[in-house]
């Protein structure tokens, strides 16, 4: 039976990674059941019982417009479910001082005393302790609440939010501008990053989203730009003999003492800004463009002492003239970086790259060139208005093409969330679901590469992944997941959830 299951899913893989789709031809948004099911699978984390009938009665076109303007949708039910997550709305300064700080001090004391070099259960902060490890202290347990809370919040939003398209896009853009919570102080910033640099802009202007992520301490720390400085400025500061362990630009709450004084320009952010965030790998930039973009962002760092918030440190900045993609930048100061963001946001390669990624998410692993071109043209004409670009894609003939139906394979997050939604399960504690995602290779907020999690079938279709999904389906069908209760659970649920059709969207 399992061999047959793998054979069927391999056909799903071929369907999801095959040639470009043929454009179907509905001139307007259809409202038949197949179209509604398709839209619910692509624009939400899966239909709940009764959703198809409700959307059909409302009219699919009207429902799509409602989802594109989520501020008008009442989401108080979700708000009530999130209310018990105490760290969710805290700023990064509070998290660093009241949650991460005590655990960090305790860990240093253990190291100095020789009682241990690693904290119990080190690694993913929400991982349960394994046999043989020492029990967590209160300080360590409190520090882990931060990641546990944002993991729970992400899953609860995916399952229960009425603003489903917004949640899908928050997930999409977080992966596009990925940061890794496992890198040092990044974990203190990641909740604030999603809340303040991603979520407010998913229906806004791309340029604003780009700036918000560029200035976020999470991105500044993750890609090391917070230490990037003009080498001449660094030499001058060294002549003044600052202490490396008390560098006022580096020391602050939430930062380890002894962190190094900047040695010069760091190109990490500049490279990923062009390759992953804007132009794409074939976007037409050169190594010299990378160098000059890195120079433009010297001095973009994190506010000292508080360990939170953006700061432009003029004494770290390279004020020399720079040329980026043929544009000469002479302003000096923080405006150098702002001009770079303007140039990249308005570049035709950015329009095409963003349109292609959105079309890949919503239509096909190999989206039709005609759709990508139209969406890119809309991006340019609407000055990067992301709501308009998304609308162009999700109301297009290509989106409703017969070849687009069930053509995508769900990521683990989509699979788990859709399973909970379709069964009408009640989630009292979402951490067991987060553990299931780790088992399926998708730990939330712990994707290490700056590429973020891919949503193409080739990433998620494997024999190991299918076994993990089947195991989850059995546990859900048996009501064997702590904190998750499925009404009328039965063995057939596991068969339905584990089926190849359910694993597609």
Chain CA centroid to CA 422, Å: 24
Q: Are residues 263 and 325 in the same domain?
A: yes
- In contact, 452 and 175? CB cutoff 8 Å: yes
Task: Give the three-state DSSP class for 157.
Answer: helix
Q: Are residues 299 and 330 in the same domain?
A: yes
Q: Are residues 234 and 318 in the same domain?
A: yes
Q: Determine, yes or no, domain membership for 245.
A: yes
pLDDT of 254 reads: 36
- What DSSP state is assigned to residue 454? -
Q: Determine, yes or no, domain membership for 157.
A: yes
Q: Determine, yes or no, domain membership for 427.
A: no
More confident site: 23 or 280 = 280
Predicted confidence (pLDDT) per residue in 174-230, tens digit: 999 999 999 999 999 999 999 999 999 999 999 999 999 999 999 999 999 999 999
Task: Give the three-state DSSP class for 385.
Answer: strand
- What DSSP state is assigned to residue 124? S
Q: Are residues 175 and 285 in the same domain?
A: no
Q: Are residues 91 and 205 in the same domain?
A: yes
Task: Give the three-state DSSP class for 252.
Answer: strand
CA-based torsion, 198, 201, 202, 206: positive or negative: negative
| Domain endpoint, select from 284, 311, 345 | 345
Q: Are residues 85 and 212 in the same domain?
A: yes
Share of the chain above pLDDT 90, in %: 74
- Which domain covers residue 112, as residue numbers? 81-132+149-216
Q: Are residues 291 and 332 in the same domain?
A: yes
pLDDT of 115 reads: 62
Tell me the C-alpha to C-alpha distance, in Å, between residue 270 and each of 173, 319, 328, 449.
Answer: 18, 17, 17, 15
Q: Determine, yes or no, domain membership for 243.
A: yes
In this predicted structure, the answer to whether residue 373 has a pLDDT above a threshold of 60 is yes
Q: Determine, yes or no, domain membership for 35.
A: no
Q: Are residues 165 and 233 in the same domain?
A: no
Q: What pTM did the predictor assign?
A: 0.88
> Hey, what long-range contacts does 62-68 have (CB within 8 A, 24 or more apart)?
63/39, 64/29, 64/39, 64/391, 64/394, 64/395, 67/43, 67/163, 67/164, 67/165, 67/166, 68/165, 68/203, 68/387, 68/390, 68/391
Predicted confidence (pLDDT) per residue in 443-483, tens digit: 999 999 999 999 999 999 998 999 999 999 999 999 999 99
In this predicted structure, the answer to whether residue 21 has a pLDDT above a threshold of 50 is no
Spatial CA neighbour of 301 closest among 236, 253, 250: 250
Spatial CA neighbour of 284 closest among 335, 338, 353: 353
Averaged pLDDT, 388-403: 97
Q: Are residues 205 and 238 in the same domain?
A: no
Q: Are residues 205 and 224 in the same domain?
A: no
Q: Are residues 228 and 300 in the same domain?
A: yes
Predicted confidence (pLDDT) per residue in 183-196, tens digit: 999 999 999 999 99
| Domain endpoint, select from 216, 249, 269 | 216
Q: Are residues 163 and 229 in the same domain?
A: no
Number of domains in the chain: 2
For tokens 């432009």, name the residue.
312
Predicted confidence (pLDDT) per residue in 92-139, tens digit: 999 989 998 888 888 888 778 776 544 444 445 444 444 445 677 888
Q: Determine, yes or no, domain membership for 503.
A: no
Quote the mean pLDDT of the chain. Answer: 87
Q: Determine, yes or no, domain membership for 257.
A: yes
Predicted confidence (pLDDT) per residue in 307-332, tens digit: 689 999 999 999 999 999 999 999 88
Listed range (11-20, 318-327, 342-351) with the worst mean pLDDT = 11-20
Averaged pLDDT, 351-361: 98
In this predicted structure, the answer to whether residue 355 has a pLDDT above a threshold of 80 is yes
Q: Determine, yes or no, domain membership for 461.
A: no
| Domain endpoint, select from 165, 183, 216 | 216
Predicted confidence (pLDDT) per residue in 420-441, tens digit: 999 999 999 999 999 999 999 9
Task: Give the three-state DSSP class for 311.
Answer: strand
């Amino acid at each position: 039976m399992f061999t047959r299951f793998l054979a069927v899913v391999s056909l799903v893989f071929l369907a999801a990674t095959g040639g470009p789709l043929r454009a179907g031809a509905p001139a307007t948004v259809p409202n038949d059941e197949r179209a509604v099911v398709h839209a619910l699978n692509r624009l939400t984390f899966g239909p709940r019982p009764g959703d198809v009938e409700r959307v059909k009665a409302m009219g699919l076109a009207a429902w799509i417009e409602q989802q594109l303007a989520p501020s008008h949708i009442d989401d108080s039910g979700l708000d009530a479910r999130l209310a018990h997550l105490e760290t969710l709305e805290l700023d990064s300064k509070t998290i660093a001082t009241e949650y991460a700080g005590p655990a960090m001090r305790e860990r240093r004391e253990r190291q100095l005393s020789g009682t241990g070099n690693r904290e119990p259960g080190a690694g993913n902060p929400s991982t349960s302790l394994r046999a043989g490890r020492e029990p967590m202290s209160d300080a360590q347990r409190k520090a882990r609440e931060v990641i546990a809370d944002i993991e729970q919040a992400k899953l609860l939003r995916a399952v229960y939010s009425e603003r489903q398209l917004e949640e899908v896009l928050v997930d999409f853009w977080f992966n596009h501008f990925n940061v890794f919570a496992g890198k040092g102080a990044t974990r203190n910033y990641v909740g604030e990053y999603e809340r303040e640099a991603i979520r407010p802009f998913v229906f806004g202007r791309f340029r604003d989203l780009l700036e918000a992520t560029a200035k976020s301490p999470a991105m500044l720390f993750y890609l090391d730009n917070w230490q990037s400085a003009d080498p001449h400025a660094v030499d001058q500061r060294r002549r003044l003999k600052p202490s490396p362990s008390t560098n006022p630009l580096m020391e602050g709450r939430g930062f380890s003492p002894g962190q190094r004084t900047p040695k010069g320009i760091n190109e990490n952010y500049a490279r990923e800004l062009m390759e992953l965030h804007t132009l794409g790998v074939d976007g037409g930039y050169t190594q010299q463009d990378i160098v000059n973009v890195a120079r433009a962002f010297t001095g973009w760092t994190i506010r000292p002492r508080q360990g939170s918030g953006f700061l432009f440190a003029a004494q770290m900045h390279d004020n020399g003239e720079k040329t980026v993609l043929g544009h000469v930048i002479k302003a000096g100061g923080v405006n150098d970086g702002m001009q770079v963001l303007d140039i990249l946001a308005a570049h035709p390669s950015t329009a095409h790259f963003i349109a292609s990624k959105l079309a890949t998410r919503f239509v096909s692993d190999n989206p039709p060139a005609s759709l990508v071109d139209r969406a890119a043209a809309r991006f340019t004409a609407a000055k990067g208005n992301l709501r308009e670009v998304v609308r162009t894609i999700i109301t297009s003939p290509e989106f409703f093409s017969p070849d687009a139906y069930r053509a995508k394979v769900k990521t683990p997050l989509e699979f788990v969330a859709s399973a909970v939604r379709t069964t009408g399960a009640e989630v009292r504690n979402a951490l067991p679901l987060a553990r299931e995602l780790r088992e399926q290779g998708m730990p939330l907020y712990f994707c290490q590469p700056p590429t973020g999690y891919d949503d193409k079938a080739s990433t998620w279709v494997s024999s190991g992944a299918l076994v993990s999904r089947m195991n989850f389906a059995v546990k859900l069908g048996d009501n064997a997941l702590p904190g998750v209760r499925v009404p009328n659970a039965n063995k057939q649920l596991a068969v339905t959830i584990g089926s190849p059709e359910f694993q597609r969207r």
